[in-house]
Every structure is written in C-alpha cells, then in structure tokens.
Structure 1
Amino acid sequence: MANCLGICTVGALAALLIYAAACSILLPYVLRPPRLLPLEHLASASEDAILADFFERDGSRFFFGVATAPAHVEDDLNDSWVEFARREDRPVAAWRDVPSPGLRLRFWSDPETELDLVQEMGVTVLRLGVDWGRLIPSEPLRGVAAAVDPAAVDGYLHILRSARNRGLRTMVTLFHHSLPRWALGYGGWTDSRTISYFREFAAFCRESFGHLVDYWVTFNEPHIFALFSHCLGTWPPGRRPSFLGATFCFSRFGSYGRAMNNIVEAHKAAYAALHVTGRGDYDSPVGVAHHVGVIRPYSLMDVPLVIVARWLMQYSWIDLIQEHLDFCGLNFYGQEVLSFAGLMLDEDEEYSEAGRGVYPDGLYEVLLAFHNRYKNPRTGQPPFRYIITENGIADDRDVIRRPYLVEHLLAVSAARRAGVPVDGYLHWTISDNWEWSDGYCPKFGLVSVDRIHNLTRHHRPSFYLYKQIAESGIVSKAQRHAAWSALQRELGEGGLRPFCRKTDRFGRMWAEGLDAPILRPISERNWRLGHYVINGMLKYVVRCAEVAAMRLNDAVELLTQLSGNWASRQERGGEEL
C-alpha cells in the first residue's frame, strides 16, 4: 500500500512538472503578437502630422459608420428579452430601476431621432437589424408568407427608406442575439428545424428589403449567443444547465455543439438564399459579424485553456463557413484574462464599464492573424475582405472613449499597411442603449440619453471627434495627443469611472451586471497602440498559487453545499417516515 501511494505521488508530481514545463514553453507563444507593428511613422511624426489617411490609397472605398440592433433600441417589441427581463427569480440588472425600460430608444416609433444623429455624424454606412420575431410573430408551420406581419414589413421599409434618404448605405443583420419567442419552446438553435425557418426568413427579407440593403449580415456573434444561452443560462430562456450538461456543453452532442452546428448550416442556407439570381438586379455581399478578442492567461497554468478558448472562440466557426462569405465582419472590444478559476478582473489593466479589457494592439493582432490564416497560401490573396462591424467602449464619462477611438483606428490603419484588406469601420454605438443582461448600466453611446426626461439626447465630445475623422478620413497626431492628454489629466486628478460588471471577492467576473455601477480608478497602464507592455514570466508564475487558492475555496464551498443538500434530504426523509 505504501509503495502504491509513493508511486502515485511520484507520478502525480511528474505529471505536474511536465504540465508546468509545457505551459512555460507555450507561454511566449500565447503572449507574442504575430509580428511587429509598422508604426515608424508614428514615432517620427511632426506635431501637425497625419498618422492615418483612410481615403488616401483607394479613394472613398473605405467607409466609416455606426452600428445598432433591434433588441437594443426598438420599442413596441415584445420579444424574448423583455420576457426574460421581467422574470421574478433572476431579473436583468439595471432594467427595472430605469424609467421606461421597455421603450429602449423608441427606434420603432421614432427612428428619425437616431437617423438624424447618424446623418449629423458624417458617416456613410448604418448597420441595423430586422427582428425575426417582429416580422414572423408565430411559428411558420405553413411557410413565412402565412405567418408574416405586414405592419412590421412596412415599419422596416420606412426605416430603411429613411436611412437611404439621408444618403446612408445600410448593412442589415438578420439574427442579432434575439430568437423569436416561438422558437424558445422547442429548443431554438439546438433543434434542426430552425435551419429551414431561417433560410425561409432570409429569402423573405431579400424579397422584401433587398433593394434597400447594401450589405447582409446573417449572424451576429452566434458563439456568444450559444455560450450565454445554453452553457451559462444567463441569456434567454435563462435555464441553468445541470452539472453534466454544463460539463459537456461544448461537445458535439452538447447544447453549444448542436446549436453551433445548426447555425453553420443555417448560414450556408441563408447565404445561398440571399444570392439567388433572377429576382431583381440587386445582389449585395453577404457576411457575418464575428466576435473576436485577445484571450490571455491569468497564470502560467492557464495557458492550455487559453489555447483551446482561442481556437473555439476565434476560428472554429469561421473555419466552417469561410467558403460562404463575401466579407468577414469582426466585432472587437478588447482582451479577456482567462483562468480555470474564471474570467478575471486584472487590476493591472484598464476596463470598460462592461468589463472588457482595453487593448488596441489586439485589433491589429487579430486582423493580421485572420488574414494569415485564411489567405491563399500560394497567391497570398484573401478569400474575403474584412469590415470592423463593431468597436467601441462603455464609458459614461467619455474620458477613455476618445483615445480608445483614435488608437483602434490607428490599429486598423496599421493592419491595412501590413496588407490586410479592411474596407470599413463601424462604431458601436449611436446612443446609450439596453446592453443585454447588463441592462442600461454600460454607456456605449457617442450620444448620452436622459431617460428621466423623455430620452433626451446629448452629444458627447467623442461624437464630434468621430465626426471629424469620418468626414476627413484622417487621424492626426494632434487628435491623438489631445485625446490621451485629456485622459492623463483625469488620471492625475484621481479620476474614477463607473464599472457595471459583477465580481466576487477574488476579482472573478461573471456574465451578470450590477443594478448600480461601482467606481473604479482609471488605470495607470499605457495602453496606446505600440506602447502596451506585456507582463513578464514571473507574474504568471506567482499567480499560480493565487489560482490554486481560488480553486481550493471553490472545492470547499461545493463540498459544503453538497453536504448541506444531503443533510436536508435526510431530514426530509426522516420527517416523511
């Protein structure tokens, strides 16, 4: 027995040492950017220099725009999100304590207010969506034509024509995290019948709106939807999976695996339906809006997890649909620090109010990584072009948004200089809106909204900065200096910013928001493009002990809970006897 115990102990230690050695070898690979940034012109530029000129090389082909979506902004929308927010057991944060939350931004009854702001902004492309459940309010058992709401069709035609009348091109999203209520009952995307329903929906939208649409987006971040809806239960329908279901959620037969497989087939079917010829003279490009970010390990021992997460979140979906894309839209908000213990709030980093780490270098890294992965290895030609379909930051005080905007546009410019074919940039978003399970707490808008006084709009300084850039196509050194200097003045004065993400005592962030934000100090880290310094190996090694302590605490709490449940069942059994 003693010999067996000794052998097992030695074996466990050897396995641990091998694992640690593998993590040490892989850590530089995980942390290293794909190649050096081409930023020589930034360092040597004179005070009045132009740092990026987006219209210089190909005239007006590059475009600037803004993005929004129905569930964020439309009133009179009795969708699955309103139903979810009204639940008594787990209400959506920062929703019930906000005046008239169901109005969202009145984009259905009063789209002109937002459209006027877009026109004033000087951009040329508006990304918006059509809500599947509004257009098809009941399950189309006898086809879309029998289930469609004609008033909803007229409403979207009015919005699209109003946008066109303002000189805007439109990018229309068909699925933006809002599943029709009738689909929730049978399992939504985990059921294969949704594939044919979505194909029919896409064909109907082309017939009804195609003459007013310049770009189609079939899906917005479906892997995020599948993760939060099926593996975490923090999005509609809000059913917490069992321990076994959560454990195997990402497998081929788990809820996430089934949902993503059906979404892949639905995209391919919709792509074909949107490109059907012989029904008019319009054939607009079709793509997706894919959520990407830089995932970093919190400790040395988290490196393998990060490698798996990067593949699962970044490439697995695009790998399967790359031959059915005219463009690949990328939604980039920053970086996430991942650990076996959870998604970590790293005190060394700057964060948005929604808990996304600020890291402009990451946008360059992601664009280059995608370009290198999908371009033809023999010719170097890309199979599709890229559009930044979302980029922005939740920042109510508007002190970080201005340098954030400048630095991310410089990252796009750097990627274009390196040969990545990026055709446009869409900022998220126009006005502060409802942000999923975070409610109205995070403020992503270039325009603030006074919900107490009839949704009155107020332009933030970043609105005017983006207007200057969108109209000129230029980012100057003076703009960069002014934006960063304003932030540094706030930092010097001990400025505090709201933070809307729920954390535990270890600093782990969960997929839930706060009813009222807490205040966090502005970070001292220099996160400007080309200035970000990655932590050294020692910090990742030291954090291993911290992560081990968190996991031990979790194990003790789980055993305590299981023991309490067992004792409770024993007591109930005794009472029944």
Structure 2
Amino acid sequence: MYKVAVFVCVTVITSINVNALNTKPFPKDFKFGVATASYQIEGGWNEDGKGENIWDHLVHTDPTAIVNNATGDVACDSYHKYKEDVAMLKDLGVNFYRFSLSWSRLLPNGFANKINKAGVRYYKNLIKELKDNGIEPMVTLYHWDLPQPLQDVGGFLSNNFVDWFGDYAEICFEIFGDDVSNWITFNEPVMTCQIGHGVGSFAPRVKSPGIGEYICGKNLVLAHARAWHIYDTKFRSRQKGSVGFVIDSGWYEPSTNSTADRHASEVMLQFVWGIYINPLINGDHSSIVKEQIARRSKQQGYKRSRLPAFTEEEQKCLKGTIDIIGLNHYTSSLTSAQKNPDPNGIGYYVDCEVVSRQSDDWEKSGSSWLRVVPWGIRKLLKWIKDTYDNPKIIITENGFSDFKENQLDDDKRIDYIKNYLSNIRDAMEIDGVNVLGYTVWSLMDNFEWLQGYSRME
C-alpha cells in the first residue's frame, strides 16, 4: 500500500446517496484474505545469500528519503518469524494470504544463472506452513523491489527487461507452482512507473516524466504477457492455476454533471486502466490515452507520440493475457477538466488534463490521500464490468491507515471495512459484478515505504 498525495482538498456538495448497509452473507465460494509485501515485512535484507534490491539501495544511500531514516532491514522480521505470521492468519480465519516474493532473495543478482537455495527454502517453508493450516497462498511476483544489479543495467527501461522477468517468473512457476494456484505478476504499475520513473520519488527515483514512465509501462505489460504465456504453455495444464495483474485505482467522480467534467472522469479512468489493463484485455492502449498523448506530443514538437506504440506482434502477444484482475482500492476523488492545460507540460499527471480533489466532508484517515468514500468502490466495480465485459475481479487491497502517534482506533477501521464490503456486496448483487474475493491491507503494521513506520495499517 502507498499512494502519493495528488489531491487538493476542497469542500463540495455532492448528490451521492448513501445506501443502507447490505448485511447479506457473501456467497459460500467468496474468499477473504489479507496481504503483505516482501520488503515491507521480511527483514533479513542481506541474510543467507539475498542480493540487494532498489529499496535496500535507496534506504542505505539516501536515508533521509524515509521518515525518521527508517529502513526495511528488519521490518516485521518475517524472514525469521513466518510461523508467527501464519499463526496470526489462522487466528483471523482467512481463506488466503497474499504475499510477494523477493526477486533478490531468490536470484541474488537478478539473473536466472544463480538461484539462492536459502531463499527457495524460506518460501517453500512459508507456503507449506500456510497449506498445513488450511490457508491458500496468493503469490505476487513483483511488489516494487527490483534487484539492484538489474537496475544498474537499465531496469524497467531496458529492452531486456521482458526477458529478465520472464526468466524469473518461469523459475517461480517451476519451483513453487505445484503448491500455488493464484499468481499475480505486478502490483500497482502506476507506483512503479509513474512514481518510480516519472515523478521519481519512489525507488529507483528516475525522474523522467512523460518519457521514461511510459517506456516503463510498455515493458511492464509486455513482461506480464511473457510470464502469462510461459505459464499458459508450460505449466497451466499441470498446475491448473491463474495468472493475474494488480491495478491500483480510485473512483473518479465528476465534480459536476457537466459534459466536460464527466469526460474528465472517463479520461482519468482511462489513464489508469487504459495504459495497463486495456493492453492485457484488448491488445493495445485505450484510444483516449493514445489520442490525447499523441496530440500533446505533436503540439510540443515531438516527431512521434511520447507514449511508445505496440507493434502488431506485441498486440497479439498482449491480448487476452489476464485471467483475473486484482483491484487495490482505498479512496475516491472528484474530477474536473483543466481549464487551461499546460501546453508544454509532459507526464502522466499533466497529459491527462484532469484536476482531482477530495471533499473536506469526507472522513479522514491517518494518510492525507485516503478519505473514506465507500460508495466509490461500487461505482468503480460497475465501471470495470461495463468497460471490460464483466471480468473476474479480486479486491487485492483495501484498508484504513491511522496515525502512529494516536491510539489505534479500530472502530474507524471496522466501520471502513464494513461499509466498503457493503458496497462490494451491492455491486455483486445489484450490479452483477463478478467479484470473487476481498483482501484487507495489511496483516500487520509494516514498513510503509517513504513514510517508514509513521503510519499504522
């Protein structure tokens, strides 16, 4: 979990009706789980042959980048305490546990030529402990912790990234796939590409708005497709699992009922979904995104769009390579069209030509970007159904953060989860959305990226 605060808070009046709480049980096959990520909980950052990743590198070379100079060197110490983690999971009574593998713990230099046996043993032991306790593993291959040696030779901006990720994915499918049925390739691509390679605040802190961030996005979805095809051709018939992709998305409510603001809402959704999910379903970026970035690029004197195009071969490779959509959703915003878009600005957050903000009337959490807006998740789920022909969806993250200096207020957290679940149930029952499961972020308080340990989750 982490979102960059890009909202300007204002007081507005909306016409949203709050529905009565839906207390009907979820279907018997609906599954509940909780989630974590390797760098945020494992610790053991350089133990037993693990290599350095981009977050190890950031916290050790620029400690002031993190609140209170915190690091994930120890974090929750799950590398040594995974049995305690599983005991907590069993006590919660969850159906599944979503966790990520550390690429650097398995392949210390990032390449497939050297597999770290101690890293394999750790994840084998964790998966066995989960299954012995009746808990299904849901495994994310990449949750932001690229091996530093790969970053040193280009990382996501390298033409070789698709090969590197495909090799890594194939090793994971081969080693763990007989015990893992639910795979996720990438978690929250906006954070990897727009925040890591555009804004440049997250590791690897590449500041290349409008150029590098879009190259990152292209290579990321092509790498997902490579992994999907490897699984489909080599492992699916035997392991009978699925390969999904996690997108992070708020709901973007039009600020007014004007045509311009309703269009702005759709544009913002397309910039989130049309860059990352549309290629995996339809084989290409959405037309809105392509046309808008091409128009702005031409106005700025570029010979071609700053959004790199897929070749026909790449489009064929991409199309239909998602078995299930993982949705990380926390909050919503109000959107409107920019009155005077900057003609010279480049980057995801200016190319969209949309202004987003939140209402002061919406309940606050411990994070400035997270306001409590339960009706937003139902609207977003309905939009996904209508836009992509009702795909399978798992809510892979949803939750409420609190200030560390405050006493933990679980009443607010309980109300948040209760009301979001109610709207998910409405989306399923009334709107016919195909939601298969729900995941709370997080199992326990952990390293919250640039915020260190200053938030409770």
TM-score bracket, normalised by the shorter chain, equals: 0.7 to 0.9
Q: Deviations over 1:22-80 (max 9, x none)?
A: xxxxxxxxx888xx88x5xx48xxxxxx722113xxxx311111111101101112432
Aligned to 1:387: 394
Among candidates 367, 373, 379, match of residue 359 of structure 1: 373
* 1:397-546 pair list within 5 angstroms: 397-417=409-429, 418-444=431-457
Q: 3-state DSSP class of the match of 1:174?
A: strand
Query: Contact 1:126–1:170 (CA<8 Å) still a contact in 2?
Result: yes
Matched residue type, 2:31: F
For the pair shown, the structure with the greater C-alpha radius of gyration is 1
- Taking a change above 3 Å as real, the CA distance of residues 298 and 218 of structure 1, as seen in their structure-2 partners, is same
Displacement of 1:278 in angstroms is 6.4
Q: 3-state DSSP class of the match of 1:330?
A: strand
Alpha-carbon distance between aligned partners in 1 of 2:23 and 2:236, rounded to the nearest angstrom? 45
Query: Contact 2:193–2:216 (CA<8 Å) still a contact in 1?
Result: yes
Number of residue pairs aligned between Structure 1 and Structure 2: 376
Query: Contact 1:302–1:338 (CA<8 Å) still a contact in 2?
Result: no
Alpha-carbon distance between aligned partners in 2 of 1:224 and 1:302, rounded to the nearest angstrom? 28
Alpha-carbon distance between aligned partners in 1 of 2:123 and 2:372, rounded to the nearest angstrom? 35
Among candidates 13, 25, 32, match of residue 53 of structure 1: 25
1:168 aligns with 2:135: yes
Aligned to 1:72: 40
Aligned to 1:102: 73
Displacement of 1:90 in angstroms is 4.1
* 1:47-196 pair list within 5 angstroms: 51-55=23-27, 60-77=28-45, 78-88=52-62, 90-96=64-70, 102-140=73-111, 144=112, 146-196=113-163
Among candidates 276, 280, 295, match of residue 321 of structure 1: 280
Displacement of 1:255 in angstroms is 0.7
Query: Contact 1:274–1:283 (CA<8 Å) still a contact in 2?
Result: no
Alpha-carbon distance between aligned partners in 2 of 1:130 and 1:88, rounded to the nearest angstrom? 24
- Taking a change above 3 Å as real, the CA distance of residues 420 and 305 of structure 1, as seen in their structure-2 partners, is closer
Aligned to 1:207: 174
- Taking a change above 3 Å as real, the CA distance of residues 136 and 405 of structure 1, as seen in their structure-2 partners, is same
- Taking a change above 3 Å as real, the CA distance of residues 88 and 287 of structure 1, as seen in their structure-2 partners, is closer
Query: Contact 2:63–2:69 (CA<8 Å) still a contact in 1?
Result: no
Q: Deviations over 1:398-421 (max 9, x none)?
A: 231011010011111101112111
Alpha-carbon distance between aligned partners in 2 of 1:285 and 1:89, rounded to the nearest angstrom? 39
Query: Contact 2:39–2:72 (CA<8 Å) still a contact in 1?
Result: no
Alpha-carbon distance between aligned partners in 2 of 1:307 and 1:221, rounded to the nearest angstrom? 20
Aligned to 1:289: 246
Displacement of 1:85 in angstroms is 2.0
Displacement of 1:87 in angstroms is 3.5
Displacement of 1:314 in angstroms is 3.1
1:221 aligns with 2:188: yes
Q: 3-state DSSP class of the match of 2:192?
A: helix
Aligned to 2:327: 330
Matched residue type, 1:117: M
Query: Contact 1:84–1:92 (CA<8 Å) still a contact in 2?
Result: no
CA RMSD of aligned residues (A): 2.7
Q: Structure 2: 5+ residue runs without aligned partners?
A: 1-13, 46-51, 282-319, 339-349, 403-407
Query: Contact 2:33–2:96 (CA<8 Å) still a contact in 1?
Result: yes
Displacement of 1:154 in angstroms is 1.0
Q: Deviations over 1:494-552 (max 9, x none)?
A: xxxxxxxxxxxxxxxxxxxxxxxxxxxxxxxxxxxxxxxxxxxxxxxxxxxxxxxxxxx
- Taking a change above 3 Å as real, the CA distance of residues 87 and 349 of structure 1, as seen in their structure-2 partners, is farther
Matched residue type, 1:110: K
Aligned to 1:480: none
Alpha-carbon distance between aligned partners in 2 of 1:89 and 1:408, rounded to the nearest angstrom? 36
Among candidates 183, 197, 204, match of residue 237 of structure 1: 204
Q: 3-state DSSP class of the match of 1:227?
A: helix
- Taking a change above 3 Å as real, the CA distance of residues 101 and 198 of structure 1, as seen in their structure-2 partners, is closer
- Normalized against structure 2, the TM-score is what? 0.76
Query: Contact 1:336–1:356 (CA<8 Å) still a contact in 2?
Result: no
Displacement of 1:305 in angstroms is 5.6
Q: 3-state DSSP class of the match of 1:127?
A: strand
Q: 3-state DSSP class of the match of 1:333?
A: coil
Q: 3-state DSSP class of the match of 1:225?
A: helix
Alpha-carbon distance between aligned partners in 1 of 2:454 and 2:115, rounded to the nearest angstrom? 34
Task: Identify the range of structure 1 (415-424 vs 334-343) with the bigger mean alpha-carbon deviation.
Answer: 334-343
1:258 aligns with 2:205: no
- Taking a change above 3 Å as real, the CA distance of residues 148 and 333 of structure 1, as seen in their structure-2 partners, is same
Query: Contact 1:277–1:283 (CA<8 Å) still a contact in 2?
Result: no
Alpha-carbon distance between aligned partners in 1 of 2:259 and 2:434, rounded to the nearest angstrom? 36
Displacement of 1:156 in angstroms is 0.8
Alpha-carbon distance between aligned partners in 1 of 2:176 and 2:74, rounded to the nearest angstrom? 25
Q: 3-state DSSP class of the match of 1:314?
A: helix
Task: Identify the range of structure 1 (222-231 vs 341-350) with the bigger mean alpha-carbon deviation.
Answer: 341-350
Query: Contact 2:332–2:358 (CA<8 Å) still a contact in 1?
Result: no
